[in-house]
A and B are shown apart, each in its own frame.
Chain A
Amino acid sequence: MSTDVHTLSGAYALNALGPEEAAEFRRHLDGCQACREEVRELQTAVARMGAAEAVAPPPDLKARILAAADRTRQEPPAGPVTAGTSEPTPIRSAGTSSTAAGEHGRPRWVTWLAAAAATLVVAGGGAYGVQAMLDDEPPLSLAATRVFEAQDAHTATVETTEGGQLTVAVSAGRKEMAVDTRELPALDENHVYQVWSVHGDEMVSAAILSDPEIGAAMGMPDEETQVALTVEPAGGSEQPTTEPIVQVDPYEVLRS
């Protein structure tokens, strides 16, 4: 990267970098003690700017949060979480990651999609239930849980090309879909799962699962839009750099 990469510290502290640049900047931070120090100081100033916006939350929020924490297992101490990087802690390491191709020009995912689609196995629709909430697992994010627990939710569990499963819920009433990513293979700290909406020959990032254990919810895409999942370098990518490991048609789930 260019010599002035460290001038990105301000934009980084403001969370104003795109996913690729943020990932690149984090790699730069790994080898630059002075930059880490600067980022930490700027983040401290930014945190104070944010804290000055404090407003009283709705009174019932506290009880909800305390109750949710009560049902949630804490992660064992792992690699240190620092204010400097504020990235999710590496949880487990596993060898499932692909490396970023860093492609220019025409994306290759058009052909990748056919391969991913061939592996799509709808393992069952129907009620998702609250079992996952009762296990010793972190709960889904609230937004995702709402979709899974919607009265009209349709769900499907799909196997990925890398092993593991992705469970998708679609609610026509809420016009939302959600993914439960807790059964996907664990990634090392340099990789994340990223969800894409695929429409014609365009692929747009729908979510970077920097916190893969709690899933994600998103608005229901148009018909003829598919949802694909790729493994990307930490921080996510502007365009997919690896082959999708799974692809789902939300409307197919809705009809299941």
Chain B
Amino acid sequence: MGSEPGLRLVHSRDPADVNELVSKVARGDSAAFEGLYDALGPAVFGVARRVIRDPNRAEDVAQDVFLEVWRKAPSFDDARGSAKTWIMTIAHRRAVDAVRRNESQKKYDGQAMPEEVQHDEPVERVIQQEEHGAVRTCLETLTELQMESVRLAYFNGYTYAEVATLLDKPLPTIKTRMRDGLIRLRDCLETAR
């Protein structure tokens, strides 16, 4: 994906910059909020798009994410974690909530539910950044089962119980593979900096 023609190179901001932006947003600085959108809009939209698939719903989720950040920025405490992690965690949680809500809905709706329209944009610009290469390299250090467990949970929004069913493995196995996989990813990303 990273080698697509016509991709735009965007310098990913230092996490410290994002913390600084959020502390300004906390004081109602709308220019800083715009800066925050420029820094993390593609990442937030990208995660929502990847989990939800439908770009229209992903847009709605991205908007809700940024509004939550706007409203709650005054309570954000950067001593307890980076602002980027905070925002990306909200983005993923909201994307997952959206797909799970849809699933439990479908159980009842059956035919009443309108067909899910897949608007797959033929050319979607992947935004290249340093992050991309490091993450891909580090994901390759995971075992296959760790990788599958992490991938199905994160990108498909499955619970670990659903992942266990899908991969036909006991629950404790999946639970530990997820943790071990993320620990490996964490350690690799730390040294890849």
Contact = CB atoms under 8 A, between A and B. Distances in A.
* Secondary structure type dominating chain B contacts: helix
Given A61-B59, A83-B82, A141-B60, A197 B67 contact: no
B109 interface: yes
B21 interface: no
B184 to A, nearest CB: 9
B166 interface: no
A32 interface: no
* Secondary structure type dominating chain A contacts: mixed
Contacts, number: 278
Contact of B182 (A45, A50, A88, A219): A45
Given A69-B70, A72-B70, A211-B68, A61 B109 contact: no
A114 interface: no
A202 B160 CA distance: 24
A65 B81 contact: no
Contacts of A76: 74
A216 B106 CA distance: 16
Contacts of A88: 72
A13 B82 CA distance: 15
Interface in B40-75: 40-43, 45-47, 49-50, 55, 57, 59-60, 62-64, 66-68, 70-75
Contact of B43 (A10, A50, A89): A50
Interface string A23-65: 0000000000000000011111111111111111110011011
A56 B8 contact: yes
Contacts of A45: 182, 185-186, 189
A205 B104 contact: yes
A189 to B, nearest CB: 12
A25 to B, nearest CB: 11
B88 A17 contact: no
Contacts of B153: 11, 14-16
Contact of A64 (B8, B63, B81): B63
Contact of A49 (B33, B105, B114, B139): B139
Interface string A152-168: 00000000000000000
B75 A197 contact: no
Interface residues of A, number: 78
Contacts of B186: 41-42, 44-45
Contacts of A81: 72, 75-77, 86
Q: Which 6 A-B pairs have the closest CB atoms?
A: A83-B81, A10-B179, A10-B178, A82-B80, A47-B88, A80-B77
Given A11-B178, A219-B102, 20 more contacts: A11-B174, A14-B150, A14-B178, A15-B93, A16-B154, A42-B186, A50-B88, A56-B42, A56-B127, A57-B59, A61-B62, A65-B37, A74-B70, A75-B72, A77-B26, A82-B77, A83-B86, A141-B64, A197-B105, A210-B97
Interface of A: 4, 7-11, 13-18, 40-58, 61-62, 64-66, 68-70, 72-84, 86, 88-89, 138-139, 141-143, 175, 197, 199, 204-208, 210-211, 214, 216, 218-222, 225
